[in-house]
Structures are given as C-alpha cells and as structure tokens.
Structure 1
C-alpha cells in the first residue's frame, strides 16, 4: 500500500542551471533534453549509414534495370530521358490533358493569384507603375508637396493603395478591434498566404507543362533544328532554323 502511494507523493524537482553571465559569450548551454535529441538523431543517422553500407556490400554488380536501356551518357555525364526529368504530377497532366486545357487552367490560376494579392495588399515593385504629376516649371517641382497635393498626411504618401484623405481621418471613428477579431484576422491572412504560395507553385508547374507540350509538338514537325543548351532541369533547349515559307 505504501509503495503504491509513493508515486503520488510530491517529489523534488531537479532543475538544471542556466548559462552564467560570464560564459554567455560561449552561446546556449545545452540541457539534458537537448543532448537526448542530439544523441537520438546521431544514432539514427549511424543506423541508416550502416544499412546503406550493407546494401552496397551485398549488391549484385550484374543486376539489370530497364532504366539502363533508356538512360545515356554524354561527355561522361548521365542524361535522363525528358519524361524522367519532369515531376510526376506534370507528366501525369501532360499525358491526360491537351495544351488548351493547360492554358485554361493557367489563366484561371493567374486570376486567383491576382485576387489573393489584392486581398493581401501585395503589390509588386514595378517602376512602370507610377503616379505622374505634371507642373509648369522647375520652381514648382522644388516647391511641390505630395502630401498637400493628394490631401493626405506624410505617413500615407508612399502608400499605393487605400490612401486616406485628411478629412476622412478627422471625421472617421476609430474603433479598436477585439482580441478575438485580431486572432481571426491573423488566421485568415495565414490561410490566404498558404493558398497564394500553393497557387504560385501551381502556376510554375502549369507553365512548365505548357512549354514542354508545345516543344514536343514542335519536335514532331518538320524543320531543321539544333540543341543550343540546357534549361534548369537539364533538358535540352532547341533552336529552329528560319525557313522561308512559300
């Protein structure tokens, strides 16, 4: 009975000391829990290396793979087939759909990206997008006051969206949002940012799929061509010789 009640009795908590001020220049003082995590990670990597060494030692050098027939060596560099170099999801899209469908999906995805950027007030820096104000002479250029011209304060002059006017700031009623409203707004913004990130990745994939489909279609047609380099995936880039059409 006493032994069963022993686990419910209060026990002294053993605390580890922190880094003393004279040794703070040496960095963070590792605690026991940090050592345990580091040791487990080290042991797991050692076990993985051991398994790889065993597989390498027992590997049959005469074993045959079908990929041996499809792969090639050019200038002592291993070159994969175009299908193998592309991601599986892009290859699946190219095998099941046509170029028109990919273009349509790319346009739809682009519109949704622009809508998300407007909701999140993400404006790309573009020198061509400017608000130009014309004046009569150089003296007016020196005396030009942008805040006075736009009817706003100095804090909102550089703003490209939702630039409030002074009369709106004087008459507007400032309501402090509640803590729950702020948390909900932060959560919604994080969700929108994740969606925007995924759609940007999808836009890159759709663009790559469309370019590859157009290139494969062009390779099947007649015309003199030659390889002029490689893209970021290591795929060959072709250039067609200009021919006069009759």
Structure 2
C-alpha cells in the first residue's frame, strides 16, 4: 500500500470515545476530557478566590471600625438595620411624608412633560391618515367650483396629501436655508424618525407616570396605616407592581 493510501485511510478513520463499562454503568456517564477540563478550571478558580479571601482576612486591620457595625444586627437569621427598628413612629411618618412630596413632585413633572409632548405630536398619526377634517365655506356654487385648496391654505399642491410636515409656501424658503426641504423624501424620512422617537419617549413617560402614581398611592396608604389608631384595618386585596393594596377600615361614628 502506498503512502498516499495510508494517509487517506488514516484520515477517514473515526475515533470513538470509550463508553462506560457495563460493570460501572451504575456510576453514571463516564467523564470525558472536556468534562474534566471544565471541572478542573472551576475548582482552580474557587481555590484562587479562597486564597484571596484568606489573605484579606490575615491582613485585616483589627482596629478597623465603621458605624454600620453597630447600626445593624441579625435577628432569626435575617439582617436588619437598627435605624429602622429604633425609629419612632413620628420619625417614620416624617420620612414618609418627605418621600411622598418628592414622588408627587416627580409625578407632576412627568405629567407636564407628557402634556407638552402630546401638544407637539397631536398633528401626527400612527397610521398616516388624518382623523380631522377641514371644511371651507363659500358663498356660491361658482366659487366652490373654482375653489383652490392649495391657494387657500398657501401650501404647495404636492404637499396637500400629507397630514403633517406640510409647511406653507412662505415658510419653504426659510426651511431650505436650514437645510430641510419638505418636498425631499430624505428630509421626510428624517422627520418620520424624529416623530417615532418622540412617540417612544411619550410612551416611556406615560409608563413612568403610572409607576410613580402607584408608588405615591402605596406611600399614602402606609402613612394612613401608621397614623391609624385602635383596630387595625382588614386587608382586602394584596398589592402588586401595578396597584396598591386595598384595606377596609371599620365604620365609626364621629362626634
């Protein structure tokens, strides 16, 4: 057999990995080299981490101190802050009032920004078709027959089918100076991208306002629960990420 045939035969040979012997089949699948490599790397990585931690423990300053050592403790295996345990109800109510004022301020700011975006985007439609109609009134049938919408609105005829980005003829020159031509499809695509970005921002701000509203309602409920005296209210419905919990107070006759 020639050397070329020997090389071709060796290249076509399939090397199969050894399987687990029948006598050791109860021990599971036989570990291959790739499995051993992963296990060895994981073992050495953990050993290196332990070595670093032991070195830090040996080199630690015995006189080291920070206030969190005395401001926290472990009760029943749960780490708790001492400040939360030792605070008086009046102090907790004051802190919650400050948080409530901050959340209210943020929610009002988001509401103003949403209104500004809506007032800017009220002429844009997602489906590209206007929902409003513009009606013109004339004095005679002849005037209605000779009526020119382009001349009446002062808009070029090719821009009339658009529901937005439809400037008047007197504004075209100023837009050309700024490098934006409404008749150009490239300029229109730039406007469409800007509109899509504004709609995405509006959707995010609406979602953020909803989240802030839920947080505000939860803080108000906590404050009412803290200030309530006598019988505790009954929880009717647990809270969630989109709604605060619902409590029922007993009806009391006030003097």
Fold conserved (TM > 0.5)?
no
TM-score normalised per structure 1: 0.42
TM-score normalised per structure 2: 0.41
More contact order relative to length (CA 8 Å, sep ≥ 6) = 1
